[in-house]
Amino acid sequence: MASPLAWITVDLKAIDFNIKQFRCLLKPQTKIMAVVKANAYGHGLFEVAKQSIKSGAASLGVITAEEAITLRKHGVLQPIVVLGAVAKDEIAPLIRNKIALSVFNEESYRAIARMADIINRKAIVHVKLDTGINRLGFPSVDSALRIIKLISAKTRQFELEGLYSHLASVEELNQSYTNEQILLFERLVRKVANIGIKIPVISLAASAAAMMVPESRFNCIRIGISLYGLWPSRGVELWCKRSKKTRNFRLKPALTYKTRLVQIKRVKAGSYIGYGCNYQAKSAMTVGVIPVGYFEGLPRRLGNLGFALLKGAVVPFVGRVCMNMIILDISRRPRAKVGDEVILIGRSQNKEITATDVADWASTINYEIVSRLPEHITRVYKP
């Protein structure tokens, strides 16, 4: 196979390192769910799932039935939870493959119960309470408790494996709202315990809360963005580095995104570069073309705002980001040649561009940058 013109390298040792960093924060009995939804945040579903299990994750979180079934077809036998909604015709295959479904309203409960009856198989379920994000989930403690009682009574149709919720504003360091959500979730946990119903997996904390808010950890944390070595926000990173309890906590980014120069040319002073003629060369300059654009996951907004690395130098994007190409000002690298590596995310000598840097330039978040890296870009895995 010929060398690709653009490729992503995923360091599986970094995935292992990040899981073990979280393990150091937890009690021995607290479990880790590795969230590998959205193609493992752009890193590659199966390889990351396999490494996460190898590194100690007790279960995997996905968002679609397709992701879950794909993992089973690849031989993953560990517990998998679908954290999102599924179509009615997807319920039976999930039940047959012993994949946990989310029950987040009466309709989802009824649909799963009906299908479990039809195929005469027990459905594994996790009940979701909405504690304040106003997204999926039962809207109140009482409504969730009523369904939990029904599920617990229907032992032929259901195995109640989990109870969970999601915090809305930990990344923004909004502790008061986070505390309100924790109290609401605790109220349901207590009521369930008081009526003698045992639920094995109680989960509230995702990456940021797992680092910052010990009382949110319960007996299972769900790590998504930080599984891949990325901080949920710059505020969380700063908080962790300043706190005595987490000052030694580190994350290693797992992903590097590279491409190659495919053309180099001299441009005269006054020449326009790219679509819309929105960049004009103030003086004679050398530009390089790379064969990636917004189809390859680089936001169009990065036109005249983004940067890459070439032989240890920072080189700016000039002109608009095209569908499949970007033009770079490489005037400061006169010895550059066609075929040279260009780093879009990663390190070159003593310089580094992170997914968070790219997100800042594009006025978005690192979650979006990595999760939108298309699957057709070749992934290379470093064991």
List 37, 50, 128, 258, catalytic entry = 37
Q: Name which of 213, 204, 207 is nearest 184 in CA terms.
A: 204
109 is catalytic: no
User: How many alpha carbons lie under 13 Å from residue 382 in its C-beta half-sphere?
Assistant: 13
Helix axes 141-153, 175-194, angle to 10 degrees: 30
| DSSP codes, 7-19 | EEEEEHHHHHHHH
Tell me how far apart the alpha carbons of residues 204 and 180 are, in angstroms, rounded to a whole number. 13
In contact, 32 and 223? CB cutoff 8 Å: yes
> Letter for the amino acid at 278?
N
275 is catalytic: yes
Q: Name which of 12, 21, 8, 15 is nearest 245 in CA terms.
A: 21
Q: Name which of 301, 291, 383, 287 is nearest 344 in CA terms.
A: 291
Query: 187 by DSSP, 3-state: which?
Result: helix
In contact, 152 and 126? CB cutoff 8 Å: no
Tell me how far apart the alpha carbons of residues 49 and 51 are, in angstroms, rounded to a whole number. 5
List 13, 265, 275, 382, catalytic entry = 275
- β partners of residue 308: 315
Tell me how far apart the alpha carbons of residues 318 and 302 are, in angstroms, rounded to a whole number. 9
Tokens of 258: 């590279």
| Beta-sheet pairing, 123-128 with 101-103 | parallel
Tell me how far apart the alpha carbons of residues 87 and 111 are, in angstroms, rounded to a whole number. 10
Tell me how far apart the alpha carbons of residues 265 and 258 are, in angstroms, rounded to a whole number. 21
In contact, 368 and 358? CB cutoff 8 Å: no
Give catalytic residue positions: 37, 275
